[in-house]
Chains A and B, each alone.
Chain A
Amino acid sequence: MKRYWGFVAKEFMHILRDSRTMLVLFGMPLAQIMLFGYAVTNEVREAGIAIYDPAQDDITHEITHELLASGYFRLEQMVAQPEDMEAIFRKGKVKEIISYESGFAEKLLKNGTAQLQVVTDASDPNTGTTLRNYTFGIVGQYQRAHLPAGTKIGGIQPVVQMRYNPQLKGVFTFVPGLITIILMLISAMMTSISIAREKENGTMEVLLTSPMAPAQIILSKVTPYLLLALIDGFGILALGKWVFHVPILGNFYLLSAELGLFVLTSLSLGVLISTVSPNQQVALMLSLAGLMLPSILLSGFLFPIENMPVALQVISNALPARWFIVIVKNIMLKGLGFASIWKETLFLAGFAVFFIGVSIRRFNIRLE
């Protein structure tokens, strides 16, 4: 036990003294979550809108209020007459114009329908679509909440309801993916490189001739990365919750347990990579090209798996990251319990057992 802690302490010294390692461990996760949370997002905030409201009744006022209260829109100006719209768009400050028909409330209550027209500046099509969707969502919500059933605001098609992330917040979908990638990076890549370094420097041979058993050596090498991965994992959850208000709807302990399982799977993968790598460079290349890249591209983090060609879908299934992202999303964003993720959990556990088994086998062959 004393040997073990001495070894772990030495391992921490390696980590703490290498500024690049520290940067990867702590700087990168922070930078990434900030990037994904603030910069790389398709959300639109406070887009300038103009409103043409000849009706000026309670309902149009209420709808306008709801729109402006959402935070997505900022009232740039009121439109005096429909002919001005063209000129307003040209000035470029207004991205969307909402125009109510005259006698909006009266028609709505008498005929059960009234027209509301949404015109967006589609010179930036993504923003245009997003703004339109926001508007539909807000008007639809108002309609369901405040108008008698059967009445319908015309010109508004029924919108697909966005569940779990009704505001389509980018950071909601990035947090599960980001945790997965970061954990994989620390547990698999950093671990494999650190074990390969001992081989490259010849220290592994010396350690193997010492009274420490091979399993003990590997366990001591892996421990610091286990701790650091957990720190980073929970750190991202905390940042998500308190900075970006990403909720953890499901059971926190279940999420923690799954996080632990995924770290274990990744660590065993890291050990496996190190057993086939004679030096740090091979370990780095194997981790990057064989693991990180597929995990980022094919795990469903950036691109939906359903849209991939069948061959890539098959590869995707072989990635632990793909299953873990589903687990995190289900627990965090949907608030589902273990019943919804037992299959994914089983896959992860299976991967871990498989990787550990192969590593032990490879290690023994090497010693033989």
Chain B
Amino acid sequence: MSAISSQSLTRKFGDFTAVDNLTLEVAKGEIFGFLGANGSGKTTAIRMFCGLLAPTSGSAIVAGIDVAKQPDAVKTRIGYMSQRFSLYEDLTVKENLAFYGGVYGLNRKEIKDRSNELLDRLGFKAQENTLIQSLPLGWRQKLAFSAALLHRPEIVFLDEPTGGVDPITRRQFWELIYETAATGVTVLVTTHYMDEAEYCTRVSIMVNGRMEALGSSRELKQQYGVDNMDALFFQIARPGGTFTHA
């Protein structure tokens, strides 16, 4: 069974079509790269998958749930990490984890056990009572990611998780994504960095609300006769004339 499956998913805002007939299958355990310029419809699509936005037409089944019909039921089964930093800086590591665990309805014991396990795995145990604001950015990001996984979601959505981060930290972050996917969690990630597209199992490229390309980076490079993802991106996005690389 696919983790995400959408059929002609469409969202209009007045006359503007943000997402146009998106049909997509993402397999369980896949790392799916969601590429596209700003305003290409990525965020709108993700918001529909997360049950935040109702589709105008079409349907999407996320973790086995029809998001248009049961937008709330899907929320316990997914995790979300925004491009902007999503932990509270004035709370400690442990308090942040406890808060997010609580929001997802975990009980005290679950929160304690999972936090400990997670902190051990990341090697952050000694810092559990440190305020987030005094941790380096790379650590914070790993923690934000881990917090989004605390309630053991089947699918995790990462909206530009590596924006503004140095290459080494990005690399480490991707290792964490691999580890997570290896446990069977499906990862849908949006990114601006084309080299990151190479790390994904498959990628889709959105242009003006439509999905223009879909496949593994190797397949796509062959199909379009280019040798890197940057070139591919320009080739696909340019005909629309609205592409601006951020």
Contacts and interface: CB of A to CB of B under 8 A. Distances in A.
Interface residues of B, number: 32
A201 B84 contact: yes
B86 A203 contact: yes
A209 B52 contact: yes
Contacts of B54: 368
B219 interface: no
Nearest to B79: A209
A363 to B, nearest CB: 12
Nearest to A208: B52
A3 interface: yes
Contacts of A111: none
Contacts of B200: none
Interface residues of A, number: 23
A71 to B, nearest CB: 50
Contacts of A212: 103
Nearest to A202: B84
B53 interface: yes
A346 B219 CA distance: 69
Contacts of A210: 75, 80, 100, 103-104
Contact of B72 (A17, A202, A211): A211
Nearest to A197: B88
Contacts of B244: none
Interface string A14-32: 1001100000000000000
B75 A203 contact: no
Contact of A201 (B50, B86, B102): B86
B26 interface: no
A2 interface: yes
B90 A14 contact: yes
Nearest to A17: B90
Contacts of B51: 209
Most chain B beta carbons < 10 A, residue from A201, A207, A208, A209: A209
A20 to B, nearest CB: 12
A10 B91 contact: yes
Contacts of A215: none
B98 A6 contact: yes
A62 interface: no
A367 B72 CA distance: 14
Interface of A: 2-3, 6-7, 10, 13-14, 17-18, 201-203, 205-213, 367-368
Closest 10 CB pairs of A and B: A202-B84, A6-B102, A209-B80, A202-B82, A211-B75, A206-B86, A205-B82, A10-B99, A210-B103, A209-B50
